[in-house]
Structure 1
Amino acid sequence: MVNERTATRPSVDIPRLSHWLDRHDLPGGDGDLEVELISGGSQNLLYGLRSGAARLVLRAAPQHATTEQAAGMMREYRLVRALADTDVPHARARAATDDPAVLGSPFYVMDHIDGWSPTQGWAEPFATDLTTRAGLAVELVDGIARLSRVDWQARSLQGFGRPEGFHERQVDRWLSFLAAYRFRELPGLDVAADWLRGHRPRTYRPGIMHGDYQFANVMYAHDAPARLAAIVDWEMATVGDPLLDLGWALIAWPPEGDDMRHSRYLDLAGMPPRDDLLEHYATVSGRPVDDIDYYVVLARFKLAIVLEKTVARGKASVKGTDDPYAAAFDGIVLELLRKAAELSRSTNLK
């Protein structure tokens, strides 16, 4: 039986996919395969696969993927495979191919995670019992603390990133990125950039970092107490400084970030203060968090520059092709840079 659900999804040759699954001893290889698009567009595509009671997820590069996008998909698979048998919550990777003859672009298949995401609304009891939300934050930080402990060299991730000179190239790399589309003055940008150049961390131990770590990229198990079910969306992962993941997670965290209205996409009521999360991260990871302000400033600086590209594209677009995110990101960019500059001026880092 072949059941192609969701008519609007990009075309998938299900018999061909079923044959590929069979060659890898995965469910769905007997032809009893249902495929449903979960999300997709110009970025990566995500499909749910079902065969009887078995469920898997297929993550693919977009149709007509560029060479860079195709390589990125296989790079992501390499990272997720390297996490096998670690205590980092993730969806187990099962098999992958970069042969376009199967689906038209590289893809990999992983286990399905039965969980929920806060970006889709608070699940019960977290929606009504604010005391349970503290556990969500602790679990969020716990995930990257565990990730930072993984021995990336023992996991054959040499060459996966460029840990040498990681901090020395951050500011100029992102300013160069911005220069390609900058169209306006950005208050706070130069203040943050100058401060970051002069306050690089005193110690640095390379490790695996997710690269876009936030509530939007994790899933939780159902019911309380909170338990992190999986970290997802690894396309930005690299070997660098794992503490930047912590700074990224704390971009708008209370109490220092309480006045950030544009940058918060979740109600953080009930969440513990930043200092409690720093203590937990330090205990689990074994890494010092004394320089956390540097990482928060860098995270705000970097994210602002990334989002400004969408704002610039929206400003340059002709009527009828406006990016719906451009207007929303406008306020976020300015707020991130304002807060990056404020924190750099107020911190006691030497």
Structure 2
Amino acid sequence: MTQIDQAVDIREGEELDVAAVDRFMKQAVPDLEGVPAIRQYPGGASNLTYQVDYGDRSYVLRRPPFGKIAKSAHDMLREAKVMRALKPEFPYVPDIVAICDDHDVLGCDFYVMERLKGIILRQDFPADFELSEADTRKLCLNVIDKLVDLHSVDARATGLDKLGKGPGYVQRQIGGWSDRFRKARTDDVGDFEAVMGWLSDKMPEDIAQVVIHNDYRFDNVVLNPDNPFEVIGVLDWEMATIGDPLMDLGNSLAYWVEADDEGAFQMLRRQPTHRPGMLTRNEMVAYYAEKSGVEIDNFDFYEIYGLFRLAVIVQQIYYRYYHGQTRDKRFAAFGHAANYLEKRCQRLIEASEL
């Protein structure tokens, strides 16, 4: 059986107050005994995720990053409430165990959820996780199917339709992400003005208003260790909302690095989409259109939007590193990544027929 995803030692500066976590957990789950063992999941560059173990009982705690953060970002309470509302209609959401808005506990909002014990595919397949090309394709299709399933959820049945602000989602995203980039720009990163101008000029109308994940990729999907084709969970609902499904697909494709992509893009790869059998980005779009029934004439806008949005996320994180608000060395090269993504967007714009 392939190794189940495990937490590791906590990064320096991101330790939790074990006694405070213990008090909170025993109020939320009264029959817990002993002192918790707390470790940290190494993935992710935004919110921090910890494994909290009481013997063989295992939970996951999610909190925002340390240091100064944007007021509207890293909203743990919103994420937990979205998950609770969505769970009855989309069973791949982990159960929420407890929510905390008392900053006397850990100095921030946080929540605790069930731990889904399974395989999470990160940059590469685990050493003991070998699939044939045909099986890799089967896995890939199953993962895309869950995104299609999410987009078909009845938002009104979940009560999440109230998250949406109505028509104009595409316009709000382009305006919002452009504003965020300008606020997070550092002197060593390009200005993206040509990219933002093109996106503003080429905005299509929303095609629909559905529940979207906004960060759907392999390392946010949990696979059954006994049947790795089966998706048993979808994680990281921080940016979930009501919006345009093709914008969601564009976000996913920003992370979709193919085997023959140029070296600079390969360096950004964080999931095993380069493996033989994985769909290409064009195949992804065609398959999504077939399964969802959505007509897609030209995907250029959504692909470029996804890359731009990724660049803004990267730049927001780099801004914190650049200004000494985080010491995490993983973020030291994020400025170079933002510059590369600007060039990639510009090349796609030059080639676009829009």
User: Quick check: TM above 0.5?
Assistant: yes
Shifted more, 119-128 versus 69-78: the winner is 119-128
Q: 2:39 is aligned with what amino acid?
A: L
Q: Aligned-pair distance for 1:283?
A: 3.8
Partner Cα separation in structure 1 for residue 215 and residue 73 of structure 2 = 20
Distance in 1 (alpha carbons) for counterparts of 2:259 and 2:201: 22
CA contact (8 A) 1:20 1:102 kept: no
Cross-structure match for 1:227: 230
Whichever residue aligns with residue 279 of structure 1, its letter is: A
Pick closer, same or farther for the CA change 1:157–1:257 going to 2, 3 Å: farther
Query: Does structure 2 conserve the Cα–Cα contact (< 8 Å) formed by 1:313 and 1:323?
Result: no
Root-mean-square deviation (CA, aligned residues, Å) is: 3.7
> Which secondary structure does the structure 1 equivalent of 2:142 belong to?
helix
Which residue in 2 is equivalent to 1:294?
301
Question: What runs of 5+ residues in structure 2 fail to find an aligned partner?
Answer: 1-7
Verify the 8 A CA contact 2:137 2:279 in the aligned structure 1.
Answer: yes
Alignment-derived partner of residue 38 in structure 1: 40
Rounded to whole Å, the distance in 2 between the matches of 1:128 and 1:198 is: 44
Q: Displacement, 1:273?
A: 2.2
Q: Report the AA paired with residue 170 of structure 1.
A: Q
Aligned residues: 337
Deviation for aligned residue 1:30:
4.2
The answer on 1:209 being equivalent to 2:212 is yes
What corresponds to 1:16 in structure 2? 23
Q: Does 1:250 align with 2:240?
A: no
The answer to whether the Cα contact below 8 Å between 2:222 and 2:234 also exists between their aligned partners in 1 is yes
- State the percentage of identical aligned residues: 27
Preserved contact between residue 209 and residue 245 of structure 2 (Cα < 8 Å): yes
Alpha-carbon distance, 1:205 to partner: 0.8
C-alpha distance in structure 1 between counterparts of 2:122 and 2:258, whole Å: 21
Partners of 2:203 and 2:109 in 1: CA distance: 38
Does structure 1 conserve the Cα–Cα contact (< 8 Å) formed by 2:153 and 2:210? yes
Structure 1 residue 186 corresponds to structure 2 residue 166: no
The residue aligned with 2:173 is: 170
Alpha carbons of structure 1 residues 252 and 120: separation in structure 2 relative to 1, 3 Å: closer
> Distance in 2 between the 1:159 and 1:338 partners?
37
> Residue 189 of structure 2 contacts residue 339 of structure 2 at CA under 8 Å; is this kept in 1?
no
TM-score, normalising length from structure 1? Answer: 0.79
Q: Which has the higher Rg, Structure 1 or Structure 2?
A: 1
In the TM superposition, what whole-angstrom CA distance separates every residue of 1:85-114 from its partner, at most 9, and x where no partner exists? 224522122332323455554333322111
Matches for 1:110-129 after TM superposition, within 5 Å: 110-119=113-122, 121-123=124-126, 126-127=129-130, 129=132
